[in-house]
Amino acid sequence: LAEIAVSNNPYAGIGELPEEKEQSARLAPMTSFSNTPYWPDVNNLSNMVPMPQPLRLGPWLQLEQRLNELVRAKDELHVITGPLFLIESLSVNPASEVIEPTAYYKIVIEDDELVVFVLPKDLGQFDSYCNQVADLNELQRMMSIDFFPGRNLQQSNELLRQLNCFK
């Protein structure tokens, strides 16, 4: 019965991580939550996502490190992060396919200003996260999500500069 249940599950494969730990990453990094009450949550499966090693060890890690530095200087910064799935065609049985994110996003918010990054999965280890700045409206359209209903947030060149992305 267990095999039948798994083979008929339309969501099978979506939340599963690759066998090798080198291919997965935390959406919210452990270093951001050390010595906080949220520390146990960083190892939840909902915080893990398959991610190619060059992206994980390059632009993704660099952005996380810079965010950690910025939070230490500001005390508070809000970050929304997650995978971006772009499904090209519908499948009768999605359990037969492994569905991986096409890209990963981070929205960095301070007060009424923000910066949006969308990092494609094929970024190289030495590519810059600064070249991956995106438009919030475009990300929301691709995801069919309104992240900030009723709020008018503006793209911030100052926040971008504080993230070491100079324009």
- In tens, the pLDDT along 120-143 reads 999 999 999 999 999 999 999 999
Query: Residues 104, 85: contact at Cβ < 8 Å?
Result: no
CA nearest 119: which of 57, 45, 43?
Answer: 57
Tokens representing residue 40 in the block: 């146990």
Burial 1-12 (b: 16+ CB within 10 A, else e): eeeeeeeeeeeb
What is the reported pLDDT for 56?
93
Provide, rounded to the nearest whole percent, the portion of the chain with pLDDT above 70.
Answer: 74
In this predicted model, what pLDDT tens digit does every residue of 63-113 receive, in sequence order?
Answer: 999 998 998 898 788 999 999 988 776 666 666 566 789 999 999 999 999
The answer to whether 118 and 135 have CB atoms below 8 angstroms apart is no
Does residue 33 register a pLDDT over 80? no
